[in-house]
Structure 1
Amino acid sequence: MNRVGFLLNSTEGIVTVPSVEVSSSYVGREGSAGEMKERVKATFHQWPVGTRGLYTAWLTFDKVGRWALDIEVREPGGGVARTDISFLVGEIPLAPAVGSLAPKSESKTLADVKGFEELTTGSLHDPDLYMVKIAVAVTSGKPSVITFASPAFCANAVCGPQVDVLQELKNKYRERAHFIHVDFYDNPEEVQGDLSRARISSTVLEWKLPSIEWSFVIDGQGRVAARFEAFATLEELEAELLRVL
């Protein structure tokens, strides 16, 4: 199962109806007729700040090639508005797949640096999120929640305050799991105001992350139990963490 997230805009602004219908089709090659696979509801998740939110649905993509999603929005007057998106599904997932062993990364901690400015581009400096290396956490027998994000450079439409959510989740379950933040950039102290100097974190490269914001729930055996590209709400992360506690 894959979590698919998307924003919807209309001429009146951001669409925030509670749910929309999503149909997935396997297209295969450009120009061929789509083979419908699933029809599910995508639920709107309000973000903790501002007015934005994200629709998410869980879908299965069991073939390599081009897929399409047809999205239907019920309008107040009874009509239906439609839009669609298409994308390629590769043979091998770029980021660690659900069920795979999490990479045993020697991620940086507070013990490795002079201060928080070498660990995060953000202003939230919670030492609990930088105490344990990923390699230690995923072999400890306890579940872990790992967030990769660069708070100061959260600029795209599906990027949100993920480290704040990680801290909130940590405050609820700190004795039962590990909670780790890894900045997307290896040199946060050098990139503030000058992204041209950025070096991507070696941990990000080891995890082969194709975009700037990801969160993973790792079970007690060190395997990926759930993964979230772009912003994930507290409710989404908590639900997956509870499955492995």
Structure 2
Amino acid sequence: MIQKLININFIIILIVYALISCGINNSESPTVPHRLDMSPQIESDYSSNGLKAILSTRDLAVGNQRFAILLISKTGFVTNETVYISTSFTEKQTQNKIHQKQKPNFYQWENLPKGSYVTNFNFDQPGIWNAQIEIIDGKNNISQSTSIEFEVKKAEYTTKIGKNANLSKTKTINDVNSLKELSTGSKIFPNLYQNSLDNAVNSNKPVIVTFSSPGYCIERSCGPQTEVIDQIQKSDNLNLFFIHVELYENPEKILGNPINKKLSQVVLDWNLPSSEWTFIINQKKIAAKYEGFVTKEEILSDLQKILN
């Protein structure tokens, strides 16, 4: 009888340990059904007046969500215009459409002729939603418009804001023989590989971690994120950890030979559904997260709110 009780207690301990190891705090997140580097880009067709929208933020779920788009006309990217975005629930069985309208902030991408229009929407139900995008001219008339459909899930794939960050051991400069083992980028910033992510998070200092593969940044919502993180670290007197995690386990082997691409286990552990993500971690919890490229201006604006 005593032996049976011991065995039962031992099994219970193993189950509890397994739940903790698998990240019980994030158990509500569904599993990503595709490789993150095969995530389909969501974009509209060109409208009759020549406007196309590209949705940077695809991991959308019920609740308050960052919503970012890029706009393109037949002559190039549309930048620094007065824009309004309206969202509505489109599924037929719902009679009363939920309608929100926001004027997004525009963030010019560093040293590039394009930028993101960013705002927040509160989605109150899962399903297919529609965003109507309008550009307003100097006479307060709609000069161009387009619309784009997207899915809102019950729960996002990535860790929710306010939940514990995944304590992942990541490669540092001390773990490799060459910087090429740390990134596919043509320019590699050694200062982003000084600390493993688990040690940085456990230090209780804020952490900015970016997941990307600079050598395979091919989506139009993808940008030079490691350069921006490096600029923030060098130009601002911030007592933070800055870390880059390469998407691929073997970056030194895949440049020019992408057939050998193997996703990093850290990236799989973080359940990332697309190929460029940045997180701000504060007091071991996710404080902000960004899908697609995020500018220095937007990061610093959010960081000031988080730290204050």
TM over 0.5: yes
Determine the C-alpha separation between the residues in 2 that align with 1:50 and 1:34.
41
The corresponding residue for 2:301 is 239
Q: Bigger CA drift: 53-62 or 226-235?
A: 53-62
Greater Rg over alpha carbons, structure = 2
Q: 2:7 aligns to what?
A: none
Give the conservation status (yes or no) of the 8 Å contact 2:78–2:114.
Answer: no
Structure 1 stretches of 5 or more lacking a match? none
Matched position secondary structure for 1:235: helix
| 1:109-124 mapped onto 2 (5 Å cutoff) | 109-124=172-187
In structure 2, distance between residues paired with 1:78 and 1:240: 30
| 288, 298, 303: which one aligns with 1:226 | 288
3-state SS of paired residue (2:98): strand
2:199 aligned with 1:136, yes or no?
A: yes
State the 1:140 CA deviation. Answer: 0.9
Q: Does 1:2 align with 2:70?
A: no
Compared with structure 1, are the counterparts of its residues 242 and 124 closer, same or farther at alpha carbon in structure 2 (3 Å cutoff)? Answer: farther
Whether the 8 Å CA contact 2:165–2:286 is kept in 1: the answer is yes
What is the CA–CA distance in structure 2 between the aligned matches of 1:46 and 1:24, rounded to whole Å? 23
- Candidates 85, 94, 97, aligned match of 1:35: 97
Asked whether 1:51 is paired with 2:84, we answer no
Distance (whole Å) between structure 2 residues aligned to residue 109 and residue 207 of structure 1: 18
Letter in 1 for 2:120: W
Q: Name the counterpart of 1:171.
A: 234
Which letter maps to 1:38? Q
Q: Secondary structure of 2:263's match?
A: coil
Query: Normalising by the residue count of structure 1, what TM-score does the alignment of the two structures yield?
Result: 0.92
In 1, Cα distance between the equivalents of 2:101 and 2:134?
11
- Rounded to whole Å, the distance in 1 between the matches of 2:94 and 2:280 is 37
45-54 or 230-239, which moves further after superposition?
45-54
Aligned to 1:7, the other structure's residue is in SS state: strand
How many correspondences in the alignment? Answer: 243
**Aligned equivalents of 1:213 and 1:88: distance in 2?**
19
Q: Indicate yes or no: 2:81 matched with 1:18.
A: yes
Whether 1:89 and 2:158 are equivalent positions in the alignment is no
Deviation, 1:124, is 2.7
Change (3 A) 1:34 1:180: farther
CA RMSD of aligned residues (A): 1.8
Structure 2: runs of 5 or more not aligned? 1-63
Q: Which runs of 4+ in 1 moved over 4 A?
A: 30-34
Task: Name whichever of 37-46 and 170-179 sits farther off.
Answer: 170-179
The residue matched to 2:104 in structure 1 has which SS? strand
Taking a change above 3 Å as real, the CA distance of residues 189 and 235 of structure 1, as seen in their structure-2 partners, is same
